[in-house]
């Protein structure tokens, strides 16, 4: 379906390959803009075509380098606003700072809210994002947020594979709902890892809820950062008699060192992620699925004023 001439899709530097795939799904070209830096590192945006009265979408994950990509997005928004764009929609496949969504100690910032404030003040109209680390971040915005999920994409891929003697494993209580949806969709049982956090970046698995003995685990999470939680979960599962054929699925491949080294563990047979963040590694067991079609459908529906809720998830809810 060809969409209207008044839509403009731009790409920041964080997700250029994904942006190319999205506009290919939409049947249009990327809008022209030069995203560069001044010699001192300041971000420079030059919009190379008229956007007056246009429905504009900026595709930019706020992944590493996080602060630079956030600033680039803010400058992009300001450039479009000052060029008289009708509407400025930000497509943030991976929303950085989402882990700082509440105060754990008395003098901590709530940085997810700060980022939301900055985006709103810059002049956005809407946010489209995928699998926020904390769903309540939607409430940090006083404007529409379309919170999509890649669970359907991962689930559809898994459905086509050998699921005999498998069990879905949630890495913690917080992801149990998504784990149960995937388990129901695949017709599998669910197990849950119970962990305690030792520091902001380190956790320990204390026990496993559910039967995993003799099973092939499928661990599902929203992101893999250092893969510490995944590694400790795999070790705990194998100690309890699970087969050393663990598959790991996650939407966002943050992959901070030593993540790839940990994911190379012989008990992990496959790592399934999406392209919300570019994967530049060389670990052969990593399988990257694309969210381009999902984002293109969301962009088309928003532009045409069609409901986006049908894209949230087709997996069983409850």
Query: By C-alpha distance, which of 36, 85, 35 is closest to 59?
Result: 35
The CA–CA distances, whole Å, from 74 to 13, 43, 191, 253, 294 equal 13, 10, 41, 23, 24
Cα(68)–Cα(43) distance, rounded to whole angstroms?
8
7-150+292-311 and 151-289 have identical folds:
yes
296 touches 7 (CB < 8 A): no
The alpha-helical segments, DSSP class H, found in the chain are 16-26, 66-82, 111-122, 151-159, 176-186, 228-239, 259-263, 292-303
CATH of 7-150+292-311, one of 3.40.50.1010, 3.30.413.10, 1.10.760.10, 3.40.50.2020: 3.40.50.2020
262 touches 230 (CB < 8 A): yes
Question: Would you give the DSSP letter of residue 104?
Answer: S
Query: By C-alpha distance, which of 121, 299, 154, 167 is closest to 224?
Result: 154
| Res 1 pLDDT > 50 | no
Domain ranges in the chain are 7-150+292-311, 151-289
Per-residue pLDDT, 206? 55
pLDDT digits (tens, 9 = 90+) for 238-264: 999 999 999 999 999 999 999 999 999
Instruction: Write down how long the chain is.
Output: 318
Percent of the chain with pLDDT over 90: 86
The alpha carbon dihedral of 152, 153, 154, 157 has a sign of positive
Q: How many CB atoms lie within 10 A of CB 104?
A: 8
Q: What is the mean pLDDT of residues 266-288?
A: 97
Cα(48)–Cα(80) distance, rounded to whole angstroms?
11
Per-residue pLDDT, 318? 43
Q: How many CB atoms lie within 10 A of CB 132?
A: 23
| Res 291 pLDDT > 70 | yes
Per-residue pLDDT, 104? 84
Angle between helices 151-159 and 176-186 (to 10 degrees): 30
Cα(42)–Cα(71) distance, rounded to whole angstroms?
9
| Res 198 pLDDT > 80 | no
Query: By C-alpha distance, which of 53, 47, 62 is closest to 87?
Result: 53
Write out the two tokens for 72: 């680039």
The CATH code of the domain at 151-289 is 3.40.50.2020
Write out the two tokens for 267: 């008990």
The catalytic residue positions are 195
Per-residue pLDDT, 5? 67
Cα(318)–Cα(309) distance, rounded to whole angstroms?
16
70 touches 13 (CB < 8 A): no
Per-residue pLDDT, 309? 86
Cα(270)–Cα(262) distance, rounded to whole angstroms?
13
90 touches 125 (CB < 8 A): no
């Amino acid at each position: 379906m060809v969409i209207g001439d008044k839509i403009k899709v731009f790409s920041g530097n964080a997700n250029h390959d994904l942006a190319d795939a999205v506009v290919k799904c939409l049947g249009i070209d990327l809008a022209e803009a030069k995203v560069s830096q001044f010699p001192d590192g300041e971000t420079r945006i030059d919009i190379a075509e008229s956007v007056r009265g246009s429905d504009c979408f900026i595709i930019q994950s706020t992944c590493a380098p996080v602060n630079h990509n956030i600033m680039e997005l803010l400058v992009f928004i300001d450039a479009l606003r000052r060029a008289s764009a009708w509407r400025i929609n930000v497509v943030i496949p991976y929303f950085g700072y989402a882990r700082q969504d509440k105060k754990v100690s008395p003098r901590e910032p709530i940085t997810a809210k700060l980022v939301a404030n900055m985006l709103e003040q810059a002049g956005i109209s809407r946010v489209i994002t995928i699998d926020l680390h904390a769903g309540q971040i939607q409430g940090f915005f006083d404007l529409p947020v379309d919170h999509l999920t890649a669970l359907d994409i991962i689930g559809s891929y898994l459905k086509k594979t050998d699921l005999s003697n498998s069990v879905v494993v949630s890495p913690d209580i917080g992801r149990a709902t998504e784990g149960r949806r995937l388990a129901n969709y695949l017709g599998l049982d669910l197990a849950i890892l119970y962990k305690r956090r030792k520091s902001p970046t380190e956790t320990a698995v204390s026990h496993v809820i559910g039967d995993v003995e003799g099973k092939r685990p499928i661990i599902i999470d929203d992101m893999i950062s250092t893969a510490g939680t995944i590694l400790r979960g795999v070790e705990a599962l194998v100690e309890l008699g699970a087969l050393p054929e663990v598959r790991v699925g996650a939407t966002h491949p943050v992959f901070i060192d030593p993540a790839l080294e940990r994911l190379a563990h012989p008990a992990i047979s496959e790592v399934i992620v999406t392209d919300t963040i570019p994967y530049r590694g060389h670990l052969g067991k990593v399988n990257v699925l694309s969210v381009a079609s999902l984002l293109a459908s969301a962009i088309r529906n928003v532009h045409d004023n069609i409901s986006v809720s049908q894209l949230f998830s087709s997996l069983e809810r409850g």
